[in-house]
Structure 1
């Protein structure tokens, strides 16, 4: 009888262990739509959730749009009310795959990867491909990425009066240090 219970319990523990995820709720995304010689249009959100399944290389993130903060309060207000319409579109969500990812081969040195997936922003979903640098130090995996998105791809309207002050290609930088999720 004990053997009959032991085998299913061992199988269940292997399944649970293999599905352990790594995550952080304090990842950072920097949004930069600045043009040289004009006021910096840069917002930072340091409360972004990132989740990584190290067994499969699946990665996802969630950013609350009102979490972006700017040096100038008026820019933050315009970002939320006029451009990103954060009451109507409160989140940015990314779901994707790290190509060729093998957590067992990570070292303390950054390795180059490509992350492909779908970014949902401002009511639109677009395919994204981004270069990433990933490393592992102790129990932590660090993911760094830098890519650009077009405001027109996400139907973000920029008034003609200030079009010359905002870049139509927005640079996105992310930094996430992930650890095993403990329940």
Structure 2
């Protein structure tokens, strides 16, 4: 009987703790590093994990670098082997906090929040501040953020042969619906 009570207590406490977090494993990150008059350079990863702690506003995300898909297979190969070195640096992470986040006040009207945290990419970390639009939907909580990343901040070298065709300022869009 004592063991049953302990098991029920542990199960109940884990359910209560789990309710403090909302998550998706199919969020997306898309980026574009195109330069006008040259071939489009963009990719998307639809297997991004995003977690928000509804009590504290802490947020974390994880993207496997090889999950980014390009229209042109050769671009994807160069991205993984030459630029990001995905065998050496297989993932990109973000850990931070949504400022003034109050889960109980989310509505179907999107509200802009400031998110501060640390982005890790290509073995380098950088503190960043971004804006995210967050709202409640019938499917959960939607988050959308558009921001720019500089390749120099993460020691991503663009070979001189293609330096005029690839932007060092990379436009990034994060989207997800968390439950």
For 1:15 and 1:87, locate their aligned partners in 2 and report how far apart those are by CA, in whole Å: 35
Distance 1:22 1:106, change over 3 A: same
- Residue 171 of structure 1 is matched in structure 2 by 171
1:42 aligns with 2:42: yes
**1:138, CA displacement in angstroms?**
3.6
- Residue 157 of structure 1 is matched in structure 2 by 157
| Stretches of structure 2 lacking an aligned partner (at least 5 in a row) | none
Q: Secondary structure at the match of 1:158?
A: coil
**1:36, CA displacement in angstroms?**
1.3
| Stretches of structure 1 lacking an aligned partner (at least 5 in a row) | none
For 1:66 and 1:136, locate their aligned partners in 2 and report how far apart those are by CA, in whole Å: 31
Please give the per-residue CA displacement for 1:114-163, whole angstroms capped at 9, x wherever unaligned.
11100110000000111110001246000000001110000000011111
- Residue 66 of structure 1 is matched in structure 2 by 66
TM-score, reference length from structure 2:
0.91
Q: How many residues align?
A: 174
Aligned alpha-carbon RMSD (Å): 2.1
For 2:123 and 2:38, locate their aligned partners in 1 and report how far apart those are by CA, in whole Å: 29
- Map 1:25-174 → 2, pairs under 5 A: 25-138=25-138, 140-174=140-174
For 2:13 and 2:83, locate their aligned partners in 1 and report how far apart those are by CA, in whole Å: 47
**1:31, CA displacement in angstroms?**
1.2
Contact 2:93 2:119 in 1 (8 A): yes
**1:13, CA displacement in angstroms?**
4.7
Please give the per-residue CA displacement for 1:72-108, whole angstroms capped at 9, x wherever unaligned.
1110000000000000000001001000000111100
Contact 1:19 1:53 in 2 (8 A): no
Runs of 4+ in 1 over 4 A off after TM superposition: 12-16
**1:109, CA displacement in angstroms?**
0.8
For 1:76 and 1:155, locate their aligned partners in 2 and report how far apart those are by CA, in whole Å: 19
- Residue 16 of structure 2 is matched in structure 1 by 17
Contact 2:139 2:177 in 1 (8 A): no
**1:18, CA displacement in angstroms?**
5.0
For 2:123 and 2:88, locate their aligned partners in 1 and report how far apart those are by CA, in whole Å: 9
Contact 2:44 2:70 in 1 (8 A): yes
